[in-house]
Chains A and B, each alone.
Chain A
Amino acid sequence: MKIKNQIKPFWLFLIFLVFPLLGFAQTITVRGIVKDATGETLIGVSVKVVGTTGGSITDLAGAYEIKAPENSKITFSYVGYQTQLVDVNGRSTINVTLKDEDKSLNEVIVVGYGTQRKEAVTGSVASVNGSVLKEIPAGNITQALQGRLAGVDLEQNDTKPGATLQIRIRGTRSLTADNNPLIVLDGIPFSGSISDISPDDIKSVDILKDASATAIYGSRGSNGVILITTNKGVKGAVPQVSYSGYYGQGKAIYYPMMNGPEFVALRKASGRYTANGSDEANDVNTDWQSMFYTTAIVQSHDLNVSGGNEKGSYKFGANYYTNQAVIPGQNYTRYAIRGSIDQEIGKYIRVGFTSNTNFNVTNGASLGVGNVLSQSPIANPYNTDGTLKRFVQMPLDQGFVLTKDRIENLGDTWKDQKKALGSYNSFYAEIKIPGVEGLKYRTNIGANFNFSNAGTYTGVGVMNATATAASSASVVNSYTTDWAIENMLTYDRSFGKHRVNAVAMYSAEQNFNNYSTISAINIPTDNLQFYNIGQANASDITVNPGKDANFVPYQGYSVWGLESLMGRVMYSYDDRYMISGTVRSDGSSRLAPGYQWHTYPAVSVGWNMNKESFMKDITWIDALKLRAGYGQTSNQSVATYSTLGSLNTAPYNFGTTYSTGFNVNTVPNSKLGWEYSYTYNFAADFSLLKNRLSGTVEYYITDTKDLLMNVNLPSTSGVSSYTANVGSTQNKGLEISLNGVILDNLNGWTWEVGANVYKNVNKITALASGADQDINNGWFKGKSINSIYDYKKIGLWNTTDADYKYFSTLEPGKTSTVGMIKIQYTGTYKADGTPTRAIGPDDRQVMNLDADFQGGFNTRVAYKGFDLAVVGGFQSGGILVSTLYGSASYLNLMTGRRGNVNVDYWTTTNTNALYPNPAGPLSGDNPLYGSTLGYFDASYLKIRTITLGYNFKQKWLKFAGIEKLRLYGTVQNPFILFSAYHNQSGMDPETNSYGNQNQAVNSYNSRTLVIGTNTPSTHSYLMGINVTF
């Protein structure tokens, strides 16, 4: 009763509010048909009278009917088409033809703190819209972006579920500071993982590549900026519910291991293990991989609701994504919710709020295939009673028997789980300053929060050949907060032919992170896992105050802040001449007091030549713009507290008296300042033949100076390193992007092709104190940062070789000679042609890993409702490092000691082989110079995905209340061509690990991406549906 009484006045209020609108002008009924440019009727077009809340949509015949005041305006809007505004003018029949959304130079580009018509952009900005990204169903946008954009190199460094790709925009600049681009989500610098953003939410991705474009992001933009804009509700749109989802299955691409008979032959050829291990027999042929892998499953479901009224709009959505890897027990699941609201308050104020929150769970990330691959294929995994053995005994090694069944039956005895909650929120308020047209004040506030809990537990003897191996547990709890505030004044106005857009801004941000690690051995029962490590004996518990082997602290704490002042003016005259100038001043907490602030400028100009009178007669050119830019950016991405020096901890026991010692590890550098990049960018954008062919050609030079480097000092200095501004690098590159429309709705057929190709030449131009090389870090002046330093294999020694007479000079003391790896000798020769010395460390050479050129291509063919899209990528030149074939993964020992990759090795009857004589000399456990076996030509051409889709336009949709319906199927990784590595191994020629991961002995710099024993790549098939109600 009481409630009812309260509600009544509210309804009355509402009626009064709406009544004036209804009773204003004469209302008539308007009818009509809405078609597209091809004459097809459009079903489900939103038809609305401006200024009202009601609306209608077109039916199966494209017809609509709406009541509208005589002098009102009606909007027609439909996804993929330009919204049209029509004056009623008393007409009762209004037929409308909607134009496709224009994909020409008039697109609007997000340039950071504002947008710009593509025609007027002067910096280097590459854009992809969300619908293109959706052609590749992927867990995160890095996979969908791969090969799409010239100059944006996305390389795989992990194949586990939930992994993202490494992004390098126009090469690697910095030697030890961060090289990752800044990600900006809906205007606010994004501190989370890119995998936290569901690709389905993304409206567009704009990538700022040159300094004139990134200058506005200052020090955070030196490695390029990725601006991600998510979908928002549309003002005045009727409520829409949409769902998109897909489901797919994948099969592992097997690592190319020897089978039983091949392995028996290898062991015999090697002659090192004359007796089989006790679990081995020559007639056994075990395929360990097939006993291990499961079917990969990926599924994604997105549900969105959006709508709007006259003064505001909203969009809410939820996403569920899960990916089970081919490794059992290894999976990633993400639950995300997202909401955005925009609201106008009165005439001058607009406020909005966006929130992205996700919770994700990663299981089994520590599982790899290294152990499985190293198992002898002639070892029998089963006991006589049919049960699985705990381990198999090979001649020297015991290999724990790890199969799918075993992992699935671990129960409480094993757990490896990370749970993370991330919440990324931004709020803005915008005020139009009354009295000054075009002047606005805006404030953005971002607040992010991240929590994760990662624990591992391994029970007694689990994953260990030793049944009594102690149980162990560890847990890491991490907490991150991050806030940013931006206060901005913008002035945007046209005066005749003059257009001015000016921005002035002050911003500040601060990031806080703290994490703690606790570990213990001998956990009393499996049931406890890592949830109460305190139950272990005190002496078994470790809370390590120091750092791990990779110098990562066990207990982490960092706070960093950045303060900035910035101004930018973009001016254009007659849309012909454009100039943009930016000045930004940044202050960073990471640098030494007195060196914290730096100011840098950027300027770029553009000229739309086609608008000049002398171009009028050249009708085949629709648009031609020349651009040039120069700018300075900087990088402060050294670790926090780098200027302060640090003490190492050294725990010690004096008998049973425990004590923690300290020694100086890093010396302070009170002069640590900014690292600068100077970029020149020259480009031409063109659109030809009635916009059938468009593209961009860009050339750039980036010089990076005062590199922030962790300089390793010689031992005699008594301290291991310090962080300093030393050295310089250069990146030069050429980028070409082309988009063509080959068939433009010819008899219903449309065929579009896009391609990009780019080349980046990276070079270290100076190292610390004029040094020419820093072998320990793998840096060489005049060479690429991405180099390896090793011997160069030029073949195998055969007695028939012309130079065999020099064998004993080059390889003294080697007794097994034939079939051994032949190394290129770089020393001098005596007068008679004899080498003056033996092969030694001086013969190591710098070898560049970078591709000569690389790129991607895509094509789309559409006919009626069908469309077929193919996306591919390619690379020419460069070196691919496969640790499987080299010496790091211990899978090409060639001695028959354990599982071996299937290689074509030297025998007396196969002297032309690629791989050495298994009986030849060893270095450690590997063939002598075995690392040289892991280098392959990195060239490849690969079709990444093929998608066949069908858009329903049938009449039954209307009856089902469906506005749009699309079904599609996708094949991932279907073809690989021109890849030497694929031809030999059958594997994917793309890297899957950092250089210090997924190997038996991690042997490369982390920056060198390699193929290791990570989760196998898959061939996958997906089915998906997109539906809008």
Chain B
Amino acid sequence: MPRQTSHCGRFRPAPLTRRDLLRQAGCGFGAVAASALLHREAVRGSAGMLPALHHPARATSVIFLYMDGGVSQVDSFDPKPRLAQDAGKDPRSLFKVDATQFNNVGSVLPSPWNFKPYGESGIPVSDLFPHIGGVVDELAVIRSMTSDFPEHTNANYFLHTGSGLQGRPSMGAWTNYGLGSENDNLPGYIVVNGGLIPPGGLDNFTNGFLPATYQGSVIKPNPSGLANVKPLEESPALQQAKLALTRWCDHDFAARLASTGTAPAPDALESAIANQELAWRMQAEVPSLLDLSAETAATKQAYGMESDHESTRIFAAECLLARRMVEQGVRFVELTCPNTGNDRWDQHRNLRTGHEQNARAVDQPIAALIRDLRHRGLLDTTLVVWSGEFGRTPFAQGSDGRDHNPQAFSVWMAGGGVKGGTILGATDDYGYRVVENKCTIHDLHATMLHLLGIDHLRLTYRFSGRDIRLTDVAGTVIRDVLVDRSI
């Protein structure tokens, strides 16, 4: 393939890629993943498309805690006393109000929760998240996050893929495409589904136009949680015998495709044969990964596995699984929220009950996860990101809900090169708009890739006539939250 010396200025030139190398070496277009898989036996951990990291990585794995529906920033990490002063006033008399999803603008609504400073950093956290408050010195809270989309689906795609439209690869897919996986027997991008698939569906976790190897594997937090991972045969021997016959046939078939001399079998065929071996191993590996029975009682209790609330128990299992996956070298783990019966974090009404129950489900497990990672020495190399797709309005929708607000919301990061105990950015007196250090989703993605040792401008894939990146045509690393700003 001819290299372009320059191209659409919105996209930076890609380096000579591993894919190109493979292609020149005679592999087919889609054989990359397979080639990588084939070489697993020799090299622990398959390579991604990047021949080398762009700079030293601080993190090797990501755990993305996805707060589906949009947590209210003014009720979680961005206290706004002014809301109490102006309670009940028409927000339009106080500031300019933009169109919202429901356009049912109520009065200024103070937070029903108190905020307290926690830890040495004294970062204020609302009473919704007392456990997270306990690990606040590990967090860098970004109060100035923004999104481009006020609707769930577009915003979800945007948060996951850097584009508001369907079909682009998810950040987990990009990460694996760039870095490869560290475990032969497990997918590199796993979504642990707590019960809610976000609006926009499974395409939030898609590989898009990247090879299917990089798609998110959706796993449920129970031992048979991966599609088709459970053999249907009555005994392993029955299946093994089938696969033995198949393998025998396949080698025969491959041999017949060389007409003269010692032409190797086509790569696609070799890879397909190797894949079957991998699949066979996954049948054993995945269920054992998902089996939490070996965890100690103390660990289970710390995560909340014994909670009175089912949703807390589910999210506790998710967090525990996330740690186990990171231990096993899974590159990117995403957790989705359990169903608390409140339609995700999307509290257009019943703010108090909805946010309380959602927070109760995730608060203890998340805090336990961070402590556990720290305790095991994994937090330094694991980037934990907590984010919804947007925030909520500081004024009411109706009387007791909040509408979508993409103009300002809070996210936090921890571990993996992130400077704990940090607050970055600020919103106005009402928490409605960002006034300082505005950050975008592209910036968040750029920062995540940066910590993984990737320059977001140089992780590209040519599709549809363009070299496309996770950060589209934007993105700046948010250096203020990094331990080491110099890289």
- On whether the two chains bind one another, the answer is no
Interface residues, chain B, CB within 8 Å of chain A?
Answer: none
Interface residues, chain A, CB within 8 Å of chain B?
Answer: none
